[in-house]
Amino acid sequence: MSPQRTLSATASATINHLLAQEDWARTALRRHNGKLACIDTGHLQVRLRVAADGLLEAGEPDAVPNVTIHVKLADLPLIAQNRDRAFSYVRIEGDAEFANTISQLSKGLRWEPEHDLERLFGPIGATRLAGGARSAVANARATGRRLAENLAEFLVEEQPVLVRPNDVEEFGADVVRLRDDVERAAKRIAKLEQALAQKAAQKPATAVIVAPANAIVQTSAQRGAVIPTTRPSGDTTLDS
């Protein structure tokens, strides 16, 4: 038997163990008798065919599936952690009605340890053992959560290694505001430079005449006045 066939057989046996305890699930699957579902991770494929009794069996590796569910291996922990949103992590191709039935089964099927423990310890013993196991798991989760909260508080308050999310958001908002202010200031400077350039282009040019150093500059009072010239002969007729 090929590894893919072995994996499909193991998966079908595990799921059938849950289906055997749920009549509604087997009834829903009997409507899709003979259909083949393929779960493709890109590296491995699990092929499951619906039998006439509503249980599953390993599918043929060469058969064309009625529905293919593409899932990434990295998303499997997220799917296991939140089964109600399992199908939000996958991509589905093929029979929509068959895929919807599989989605309902993934949300509704739950392993009840009491059913398996009852065969060994009886109803009362199974209930007590299952309840004790649930309490132990809940206490372990609560203890782990408290330790994580205490460690985070120590790293934020006592030894500031981590930063609070609110502080990060405020810093990001300050950076955005500063960037906007810089852009507005740059636009105002550009407009001011453009206005100054236009004003300088519109102003008429003024000619500046520089007189020679030995030139005689007359004042307005001196213009038109008769400057007498004294000649050795004393004749002033030439001055008029």
CATH of 3-108, one of 3.30.300, 3.30.230, 3.30.1050, 2.40.50: 3.30.1050
Per-residue confidence (pLDDT) for residue 152, from 0 to 100? 66
Residue 17 neighbours by CB distance under 10 Å: 13
Q: For 72-82, what is each residue's pLDDT tens digit?
A: 887 777 777 77
Q: For 22-52, what is each residue's pLDDT tens digit?
A: 888 899 999 999 999 998 888 888 899 999 9
> What span, in angstroms and rounded, lies between the C-alpha atoms of 135 and 137?
5
CB 44 within 8 A of CB 7: yes
Q: Tokens 């529905």 label which residue?
A: 67
- Segments in the chain below pLDDT 70: 1-2, 83, 111-134, 137, 149-164, 204-240
Per-residue confidence (pLDDT) for residue 22, from 0 to 100? 83
Per-residue confidence (pLDDT) for residue 155, from 0 to 100? 59
Helices 23-30 and 3-19, interaxial angle, to 10°? 130
Per-residue confidence (pLDDT) for residue 74, from 0 to 100? 79
Q: Tokens 């893919």 label which residue?
A: 4
> What span, in angstroms and rounded, lies between the C-alpha atoms of 24 and 21?
9
pTM, two decimal places: 0.46
Per-residue confidence (pLDDT) for residue 213, from 0 to 100? 55
Q: In the chain, where are the structural domains located?
A: 3-108, 113-162, 165-195
